Structure 1
Amino acid sequence: MAAGMHQVPRRKLGSQGLEVSALGLGCMGLSTWYGKALEEKEAATVIHHAFNNGVTFFDTSDAYGPHTNEKLIGQCIQGLPREKIQIATKFAITQVDGKMAVRGDAEYVRKACEDSLERLGVDYIDLYYQHRVDTKVPIEVTVGELKKLVEEGKIKYIGLSEASADTIRRAHAVHPISAVQIEWSLWARDIEEEIVPLCRELGIGIVPYSPLGRGFFSGKAVVEKLEENDDRPQRYPRFQDENLEKNKVLYQRVAALAKKYNCTPGQLALAWVYHQGDDVVPIPGTTKIPNLDENIGAAFVKLTSEELREVAAAVPEHEIAGGRYSEELVKHTWKHVTTPPLSSHVAPK
């Protein structure tokens, strides 16, 4: 079907009342990491086109740039009705001696939130995530401060990203978590065993990032070449030469099925994620209007449970070459992070 013919439907994220478009727009690539940054006018065109087609959920982070992406989004949403858009941003990722570090202490949480509000030019953040888990600070301390920010009206809903099941459960006991943002796609399925059932038990929405395998299933690095300054091969082993060659087979299988379902490979891969439940809101990113239209079209691809199984079977886990992150970055993902017990915490004087 031609994209853009329908408005993207809406879905509830979590059980606290947050409602968003059933597909969001991941905004990171507008200014960082995946090639050339867009000028403000180009980025605004993408965001306004998304909004006009029913996409109202925009995802950024203070780590993107750092800071430049939030400023860009703040400029691009000027002129859109604030009550009709949902802004999600994140805190916690910092740099120490050129290496990634994570902070979740109360003082940092508050300052990060206030700085994000200023950069975005808004009075409140709809959904505020801890971007990565701080292994030195009990999650209860971090969420305790987020709870205060909710009470003050600075944020509406609380989210976590790349958090383990234990961390999610402990966080939710302090204040209801509305959404967990985590990687989920045809080639990132390890959350299905533990994280997805827990989110459903607690009434937490799931926001899959990189639902197209960082663009792989829409043909990035397979059909389309990556730009010179695209750092996917450095950050993501699946895009490295030998792995990429092996992974192309997976893409070809998905492409063959897409012909059968009368859609593009990217639409099929995204529709697969979208169909995982009505509590699932994928946030594919793009810098181009035709790709955005293609992604929106994925929300209208209909698949039966048998067809969903057939699509999943085309990408068996044991055939995926390479890990999902480089060694440095994988240390901060949900399987590798634990938050210390609250009893170990000494409050700052």
Structure 2
Amino acid sequence: MAESIRRAPAPMLAVGGAPPEGPGWAREMKWDGVRVIADCAGGECKLFSRNANDVSGSYPELTAALERLGNGRALTLDGEVIAQDAGGAPAFGLLQRRMHVVRPGEQLMSEVPVQLFAFDLLSIDGHSLVAEPYLVRRERLAELAWEAPLSAPPHWLDVDAAQLLQVADEHRLEGIVSKRTDSVYLPGRRSPAWVKTPLRLNTEVVVAGWTPGSGAFQRTFGSLVLGAHDPDGRFVFIGNVGTGFTHAARRVIRQTLGEIEITTSPFDPPPPESVAGGWRWVEPILVGDVEYREFAGERLRMPAWKGLRTDKVPAQVEVPPIR
């Protein structure tokens, strides 16, 4: 099993952009969850995050279901762990309750059930499929005996991307992903053979500090100070986010901020308004997810907090593209 764990591949990544036109493209829905690689061998299954951390303990019902699915076979799957809200839409904020718990109890597992949506099959019975075209991998994926909480969501050929985006919007999904039907799987690489088209823009951010709160937020914070790495590798300021937090999340985040506080800004130079605003600084080690309207090169416009992430490290967080 140790050898299988060491060989668990990094997931292939998509580029962002408008849905490609023309023949030779398949479309999938884009799920708002946590990307994982599922690796099964010798009757035991593990789940690995994008940065190769073993997150199996957080989702014991999924590893148990994968072991039933594999029935002793060796499998490597690529997919997304999601939690659904009362309306059936994937809810990243709800999934937060599971992401950071290494050994969830029965009550939490009952309150926040999770599912694994698998959209690629990378190997089976020791035979690698990464060099096979997308449609072959999807065909082999569909042959597995899927049962809840596991599933292989559909893909569509020759559909209108704008219409599919409308369907995604109606069902409160994150967007769509277009994939070349002849594309091979490139572990750890971002390829134009896969194009993600979100309905709303999302980006990872690094928490660099916070601003004092007032009124109901006096004991927590007003906003979080956000940073990311520019193309030269410099850690730069990209704005503040003060909405999207539950009261419980504010309390937990404020406690964490107090534990990692530092006296000087991690930005060089710090934002000019930080002195007059009494901004507080922290070690830039927390990675979060935000939704925003646009980014013109200086600050995120209308950002809303979605949650902390454990599947990326700060060094991987880059300034979003200008759009």
Choose between structure 1 and 2: higher helix proportion: 1
Q: Provide the TM-score with structure 2 as the length reference.
A: 0.29
Flag the structure with higher strand content.
2
Normalization by structure 1: what TM-score? 0.27
Greater relative contact order: 1 or 2 (C-alpha under 8 angstroms, separation 6 or more)? Answer: 1
Larger radius of gyration: 2
